[in-house]
Amino acid sequence: MKWFTSFSIKQVALAFIAGLLVLVSLVGSFAAYQTQAVTHSMTLQNENAAQSELAAAVQRLLSQTEDQSVKLASWDETRQQLVLPEYYTYWRDQRVYESGMLNNRHVRAALYDPSGMLLEPSPAGISIPARLPAGTPPHQNASWLIDDAGTVALYYAFPVYSDEQRQSLLGHGLIRLDFMPALLRQDALHFTDIASVGLALKLGETLATSDLFSRLSFSARPNPDQLRFQTILSRTLLVLFVLLAAMAVLGFMAYNRLLVRPLGCLSQVIDAMQHGRFSPNPSRSQSMRIRELENIRRSLYDYQLQLRELHGSMEHQNREFHTQARQDTLTGCHNRRAYEEDWERFRQELKTAPQGVAFLLFDCDRFKTINDTYGHAKGDRVLSIIADALVMALRANDRLYRIGGDEFATFLSRTTPAQAKQVAQRCQSLIDAAGFADLGIVEPVGLSIGIAFCAADQLEQVDELPKQADIAMYTAKQPGRTRIALYGEDTERASQTLVASRETSALFQALASPGMIEMHYQAIHALPGRQVDYYEALARIRYHGKLILPEAFLPVVSSRRLETEFDLAVLNQVDADLSSGQLPTGCGLSINLSAQSISRPEVVSQLLELSRHNARHPLMLEITETSLITQMVEVRTYLDLLRTVNYRIAMDDFGTGYSPLRYLVDLPVDVVKFDISLVNKLGQDNRAGQVVADFARMMSGVGYSLVAEGVETEAVLRKVESLGIAHAQGYLLGRPIPLSELAASFAAEGAKATCNT
């Protein structure tokens, strides 16, 4: 699950700025909320302050009035008026103000006798009760408010005593003042809206001062500090937000200019580099203001230059590799990979551009022998000369492919069979003219060429061309041929070659599937008694119920260099036959091996494994003398090893191969098997027959055990016997038979069915 999505740096920047703005908005909102809370708190505080100061003002007014009452009560002249009230009005209207007892003409004083009666009526316009309200405590202060014709008046009554001990009550004093003006005149109301202060009192209603505050209505004065605070805070928040927004925009622009754009450019350059596109003029890229980015840009620039150089070098190397991957290192021509690619591409082109196509397959005659004889270095040189000659012979646009060891191929476009043959003949001519003698090669080096042609109107058969060319090449290799064969024209025995092709398939299938190789056993008779001494195991391939003989598949084994694989398959089958117990104890076996296999460790290992049968079935290895043994030291070492496990070594087909005497000298050979070509010479009464006879006697004389192969006539057999050759084999004495048949014969012969061991 893809849980992570990459973001561009611009998106990150936008997200950051958006987050910043959101954060600022949140902070601003929080600040606004807090401001509102503070404002609300301040409003409450303001209201509380207003309430407190109003209560304090009321209390102060009452206290002032009480203080005035105390002063009045203790004032000598007050007492004098209560005793001698003749000049009461003078006291009331003048003395109380002159003396400073009352400092405001709006405040009035009055005196009552002990019964509560006013000493003298008040002047007009001044409402002073003629009698103290009923219930006024005689010895206590009392205060109340009353609405006098729309004016709220505060009355404060107090007792006046004759003595300090308050024993002798002279009467009562009364202070009257206009409550609201007196309250608001104090200049002590800072939080209270003075205009809003009111006292809900009905006309004539009396209200005790203790209940005063509950009836007092007011509202708090708007706090200028609070308003200023709100204004300043709001402006500050607004300015802060605008500044932050502006800074965010400017920051984003700067960020975009200083980071995003340069990083984008760097990213584009890197992407382009990643896709192999390099800036044509990297040095022209604009320098960056951020030092680190500039360092990156320079590093990237240097890196890009290096990468360009490296890229150029790699492209060159890739082309080199591409070429090398499609070029045969030895000959310089195209290799099999190039062949397959070009052939496939060519086939595709043919679909859109029909034309006559010729497929030419070249194969060097006896190249294997040359290689084995003169060594790989010279063999390689031969191949190079052949390739050079073929390239020279081909047309300008034709390509030469080395598709195997000594196999070359080409396909000619827009051609005819005649033109293809001309090309082939030109190739052969150049090969014939090549200087192989300069390499010390005395044998003629020839080239067989198989040609397959497909006309423009038969392109559906173009896929068959390689196979047809192969068949034609085999036809060309037939003895007596001109070594150039055109499929369909020169392949008279097409069916035969088809069989050969079938046997090739059988060989590969047999190597892949154990059991398809079937061993036939041909008896080798001891002379002169002619009794069976041991058997030679001969390989056959059973393919679709029919046996394929070695003459058919051994050339394929040789040409495909399948000697080791084939010998391993043969050894496996021999092991199986020996393990089956169908051969009587004591019956020895002779097994054919190629010289190449003897130098392969896996074959030697298999032989060591097989040697466990030596106790019951003496085993002999026949090394084909026709093979060119190049690794003489290794072969001798392995043969010595095998002899230690009781293998006997036989030189097979003696007289047909290379350097037979050298092999006899260098290798630990016990048995020499004269090839049928030599044995047949024994039947001739001429110098050749004499040479062979003398040679045979000489070999016997130095201790080699000789076996005459291919004894097919009685005359030859007698001659062999006369020469003292120890063993003989051939159709005269017995044909190769399968194991089952051999086992059956042993069973039929019963107790006599034993080998002469």
Partner 1 sequence: MRIYLFCLLISVFPAAAHAVIAQQEMRPGIPANADYLIGEPGKPAVLLLHGFLQTRDFPTVATLTRGLQDAGYTVLAPTLSLNIPNRAQSLACEAVHRHSLDDDVAEIGYWVGWLKSHGHRSIVLVGHSFGSLQLLAYLSLKPDAAVKAYIGTSLIEAQIGTTARAALIAQLEDRVLGKQRALVNQPLSFCRKYPSTPEGLLSYVRWDQARLLAALRQSPVSVKLIMGDQDNVMKRGWLKALALVQVPMVIVNGANHFMDGAHEFDLLEHTLKSLDTIQPVPSR
**Residues near partner 1, by CB under 8 A:** 75-77, 79-81, 83-84, 86-87, 90-91, 95, 98-99, 162-164, 168, 170
Name the residue nearer to partner 1 (CB basis): 92 or 176: 92
Name the residue nearer to partner 1 (CB basis): 92 or 483: 92
Instruction: In angstroms, give the least distance from the CB of 76 to partner 1.
Output: 5
Name the residue nearer to partner 1 (CB basis): 114 or 446: 114
Q: Is the peptide bond before 738 cis (omega within 30 degrees of 0)?
A: no
Name the residue nearer to partner 1 (CB basis): 87 or 731: 87
Instruction: In angstroms, give the least distance from the CB of 70 to partner 1.
Output: 14
Instruction: In angstroms, give the least distance from the CB of 163 to partner 1.
Output: 5
Instruction: In angstroms, give the least distance from the CB of 82 to partner 1.
Output: 8
DSSP per-residue codes, 435-497: -GGGGT--S---EEEEEEEE-GGGGGGGGGHHHHHHHHHHHHHSTTS-SEEETTTT-TTHHHH
Name the residue nearer to partner 1 (CB basis): 94 or 580: 94
Task: Give the type of residue at 567.
Answer: D
Task: Give the type of residue at 62.
Answer: L
Q: List residues bridging with 145 in a β-sheet.
A: 154, 207
The percent helix, strand, coil of the chain (3-state, each to 5) is 55, 20, 30
Largest CA distance in the chain: 206
- In 3D, which of 360, 276, 322, 369 has the Cα closest to residue 627? 369
Residue 724: CB atoms within 10 Å: 14
How far apart (Å, rounded) are the C-alpha atoms in residues 549 and 553? 7
Name the residue nearer to partner 1 (CB basis): 95 or 617: 95
Name the residue nearer to partner 1 (CB basis): 59 or 99: 99
With a CB cutoff of 8 Å and minimum separation 6, the contacts of 353 are: none
How far apart (Å, rounded) are the C-alpha atoms in residues 560 and 553? 10
Is-contact 497 474, C-beta < 8 A? yes
How far apart (Å, rounded) are the C-alpha atoms in residues 403 and 466? 11
Name the residue nearer to partner 1 (CB basis): 96 or 562: 96
Q: List residues bridging with 172 in a β-sheet.
A: 112, 159
Instruction: In angstroms, give the least distance from the CB of 118 to partner 1.
Output: 19
Name the residue nearer to partner 1 (CB basis): 112 or 663: 112
Q: List residues bridging with 548 in a β-sheet.
A: 541
Name the residue nearer to partner 1 (CB basis): 168 or 317: 168
Name the residue with tokens 């404002």: 39
216 φψ region: left (φ > 0), alpha (ψ -120 to 50), beta (else): beta
Task: Give the type of residue at 594.
Answer: S
Instruction: In angstroms, give the least distance from the CB of 219 to partner 1.
Output: 46
Name the residue nearer to partner 1 (CB basis): 85 or 683: 85
Is-contact 655 678, C-beta < 8 A? yes
Instruction: In angstroms, give the least distance from the CB of 99 to partner 1.
Output: 6
- In 3D, which of 104, 213, 200 has the Cα closest to residue 147? 200
How far apart (Å, rounded) are the C-alpha atoms in residues 600 and 611? 17
Long-range contacts: 61-68, Cβ < 8 Å, 24+? 61/154, 61/179, 61/182, 61/183, 61/186, 62/143, 62/154, 62/156, 62/209, 65/143, 65/154, 65/156, 65/175, 65/177, 66/141, 66/156, 66/158, 68/101, 68/102, 68/107, 68/156, 68/175
Instruction: In angstroms, give the least distance from the CB of 98 to partner 1.
Output: 6
Instruction: In angstroms, give the least distance from the CB of 215 to partner 1.
Output: 39
How far apart (Å, rounded) are the C-alpha atoms in residues 598 and 449? 33
Name the residue nearer to partner 1 (CB basis): 59 or 115: 115
Instruction: In angstroms, give the least distance from the CB of 89 to partner 1.
Output: 10
Q: List residues bridging with 410 in a β-sheet.
A: 360
How far apart (Å, rounded) are the C-alpha atoms in residues 58 and 44? 20
Instruction: In angstroms, give the least distance from the CB of 138 to partner 1.
Output: 18
Name the residue nearer to partner 1 (CB basis): 100 or 125: 100
Instruction: In angstroms, give the least distance from the CB of 222 to partner 1.
Output: 48
How far apart (Å, rounded) are the C-alpha atoms in residues 230 and 33? 12
Instruction: In angstroms, give the least distance from the CB of 71 to partner 1.
Output: 11
Name the residue nearer to partner 1 (CB basis): 169 or 307: 169
Instruction: In angstroms, give the least distance from the CB of 84 to partner 1.
Output: 5
With a CB cutoff of 8 Å and minimum separation 6, the contacts of 662 are: none
How far apart (Å, rounded) are the C-alpha atoms in residues 621 and 670? 10
CA distances from 434 to 393, 461, 743 (A): 12, 35, 57
